[in-house]
Homo-oligomer: A and B are copies of this chain.
Amino acid sequence: MSVVEIAPLGGCGEIGKNMTVVRQGGDMLVVDAGLSFPSAEMHGVELVIPDISYLRENAQMLRGIVLTHAHEDHIGALAYCLQHLNVPVYGSELTLAIAKRKITEDSRFDELDLRPFKSGDRIEIGSFEIEPVFVTHSIPDAHAIAIRTGVGIILFTGDFKFDFSPIDGRLSDLARLGELGNEGVTVLLCDSTNIEDPGWCPSERSVQTGFEKIFREAEGRILITCFGSNIHRVQQAFDCAHKFGRKVAIAGRSMDRNTSTAVSVGKLRIPGQTLIRLEDAKSWRNDEVVILTTGTQGEPLSALSLMSRSEYPRLQIEEGDTVVYSAKPIPGNEAAIWQTVNRLVRQGANVIYGSAHSIHVSGHGYQEEIKMMVSLTKPQYIAPVHGEPRHQFRFKKIAEQMGYQEDNLIIMENGDHLIVTQDEAYFSEPVPCGRVLVDTSGTPGVSDDLLRDRGNLASSGIVFINVAIDSDAGKLIGKPEVLSRGLHVLDGELSALTEHLQTELAKLDHADLRDTSSLQQEIGELARAFLKQQSNRRPMVVATVTDV
């Protein structure tokens, strides 16, 4: 009897670090290898990747990594995976080009086994056959992935919307999705990101209207900030600039990298001689210039944030500039974004943002598109993924309105281990999963304990106490040395603490002083009690004893 196992290692119950394992017999596949970004309380963490110990334990079974598209939350953990797993990587041309460019910045990778696919290909990987199906999304060359197994098709939608007027003219392959539905989709792992939004997501092309209005009205330079990977958006900015007789310069590393990669694989067409170097922008009149820049999320080191603080040497904001936020805030980034906007406004820029201006649309389908995906593919089981619990549970309600029974709607969390047979689907024991926190120096392994310590250090600071003793003579030498960092110290508080410790330590007898470890503990407790009693402060306290 055929059995297929599905285990998400990331991306279920969250939006980010997508990675799902599919197993059949002795063959394992991984769909996507994404990262997520740290939340505010993850101090000193640069990025978050899935814990892949389950893959490492089963490395001999692993036949490949299949990428749906080239967004960070789908490919950002690839480098970390390939350090530990020697497997081929499958993806579309653009996806692999972006992934390769990203990975090969890291010199550890000499040879990568990258295997490009096209929509409609059928690729045997171990006992699986995979078939990519083109779907529209906010990056070109995105695909749903159908995996043919002994229990029918397991279909990952990847990130999708059904855009009927896509910028590159490529429509989602609805017919093929329908054919797969007729063939028999057993499990649909479906994008849930916009399940809360009723109706249909506006076409990417609707942004053209917003851009053209701005281009008609702007009398100075136009700066457009969007995600560098949003090649359709970048294409529209170029096309609009060309139409209005403006040149386009690029500011920001990721914008630069993504556009040049897209050009190299033919996914971005630069109209005429539109592209100029940022350094040459000054040779043109202000109303002949467009700057494409990074910084939609208020990232402090992005080009736009630096410009807003007058710290970007290559370009200064001028009175009369128009700045267009062609993106939406990711929850948690609002404060940083508004700070940037306020600084730009103060410098005299006309800043355009918000939903009233038709300058941004989502790359994820809304409710009706998700329902259409379900209607086309007619899956036996639906597992809403790429969503927080609020999205997954909303999806479940909507699917129930479509006639699905509770038993056929599967809310998965990371690590859940779904067993699918011809007759049923059920959960087995969870597989190892978790998050790996990579610090700002690129080193993985920041622990929860460390984060807790960092949180305490940040909120309350730390006090160091060093006491020198002569344990043979059983006496203190000199005064305790007391230092603090990050502690909100009141006047005289530390010298009072020093005196308090001196007084209290003088009461200890010879034997107390000989036991260094309990003496350290004693000093720590004395100091904590004193600071709490004096001023209700609870810093970390670290005491050392130097026995001379």
Q: Could you tell me which A residues sit within 8 Å of B by CB distance?
A: 13, 39-40, 43-44, 196, 198, 331-332, 334-335, 338, 341-343, 345-346, 351, 354, 356, 388-390, 393, 439-443, 445-446, 450, 453-455, 457-462, 464, 466, 468, 477-478, 481, 483, 485-486, 488, 490, 535-537, 540, 542, 544, 546, 548
A411 CA to B441 CA, complexed, in Å: 43
A499 to chain B, nearest CB (A): 18
A536 CA to B439 CA, complexed, in Å: 11
Q: A450-B488, A458-B455, A464-B542 are in contact. Are A342 and B441 (CB under 8 A)?
A: no
Contact B459 A544 (CB under 8 A): no
Main secondary structure of the interface of A (DSSP, over half): mixed
Q: Which of B461, B468, B535 contacts A443 (CB 8 A)?
A: B535
- Copies of the chain in the assembly: 2
Give the residues in chain B near A459, CB-CB below 8 Å.
43-44, 440, 454
Kindly list the 6 A-B residue pairs having the minimum CB-CB distance in the complex, ordered from nearest: A458-B458, A43-B458, A44-B459, A331-B334, A457-B457, A441-B536
Q: Which B residue's beta carbon lies closest to that of A489? A: B450
Give the residues in chain B near A351, CB-CB below 8 Å.
390
Give the residues in chain B near A441, CB-CB below 8 Å.
488, 535-537
Give the residues in chain B near A483, CB-CB below 8 Å.
542, 544
Contact A462 B446 (CB under 8 A): no
Give the residues in chain B near A454, CB-CB below 8 Å.
457-459, 461, 486
Q: Which B residue's beta carbon lies closest to that of A545? A: B481
Q: A331-B335, A477-B548, A548-B477 are in contact. Are A486 and B457 (CB under 8 A)?
A: yes
A458 CA to B457 CA, complexed, in Å: 6
A390 CA to B348 CA, complexed, in Å: 11
Contact A335 B39 (CB under 8 A): yes
A540 CA to B461 CA, complexed, in Å: 12
Contact A390 B537 (CB under 8 A): no
Contact B464 A457 (CB under 8 A): no
Give the residues in chain B near A446, CB-CB below 8 Å.
488
A461 CA to B544 CA, complexed, in Å: 18
A385 to chain B, nearest CB (A): 15
Contact B468 A546 (CB under 8 A): yes
Q: Which B residue's beta carbon lies closest to that of A411? A: B346
Give the residues in chain B near A466, CB-CB below 8 Å.
466, 544, 546
Contact A338 B388 (CB under 8 A): yes
What 9 additional pairs, Cβ within 8 angstroms, besides A466-B546, A468-B468, A483-B542? A40-B335, A44-B458, A345-B393, A443-B488, A446-B488, A450-B461, A450-B488, A454-B459, A468-B548
A437 to chain B, nearest CB (A): 9
Give the residues in chain B near A346, CB-CB below 8 Å.
389
A297 to chain B, nearest CB (A): 13
Give the residues in chain B near A548, CB-CB below 8 Å.
468, 477-478, 546, 548
A71 CA to B546 CA, complexed, in Å: 54
Most buried by B among A196, A439, A481, A537: A439
Contact A462 B443 (CB under 8 A): no
Q: Which B residue's beta carbon lies closest to that of A482? A: B544
Give the residues in chain B near A354, CB-CB below 8 Å.
196
A104 to chain B, nearest CB (A): 20
Give the residues in chain B near A490, CB-CB below 8 Å.
443
A548 CA to B546 CA, complexed, in Å: 10
A121 to chain B, nearest CB (A): 38
Give the residues in chain B near A439, CB-CB below 8 Å.
488
A490 CA to B442 CA, complexed, in Å: 12
Q: Which B residue's beta carbon lies closest to that of A351? A: B390
Most buried by B among A39, A446, A454: A454
Contact A481 B544 (CB under 8 A): yes
A393 CA to B346 CA, complexed, in Å: 8
Q: Which of B390, B457, B477, B537 contacts A461 (CB 8 A)?
A: B457
Give the residues in chain B near A43, CB-CB below 8 Å.
458-459, 486
A365 CA to B108 CA, complexed, in Å: 58
A291 to chain B, nearest CB (A): 20
Contact A485 B341 (CB under 8 A): no
A482 to chain B, nearest CB (A): 10
Q: Which of B335, B338, B390, B485 contacts A462 (CB 8 A)?
A: B485
A332 CA to B540 CA, complexed, in Å: 28
A445 CA to B450 CA, complexed, in Å: 28
- 18 A–B pairs (Cβ distance < 8 Å), ordered by A: A43-B459, A44-B458, A44-B461, A331-B335, A334-B334, A346-B389, A351-B390, A439-B488, A440-B459, A441-B535, A450-B461, A454-B459, A455-B458, A457-B458, A462-B485, A464-B464, A466-B544, A485-B540
Give the residues in chain B near A196, CB-CB below 8 Å.
354
A542 CA to B482 CA, complexed, in Å: 12
A459 CA to B41 CA, complexed, in Å: 10
A493 CA to B119 CA, complexed, in Å: 49
A446 CA to B489 CA, complexed, in Å: 9
A341 CA to B13 CA, complexed, in Å: 12
Q: Which B residue's beta carbon lies closest to that of A346? A: B389
A474 to chain B, nearest CB (A): 15
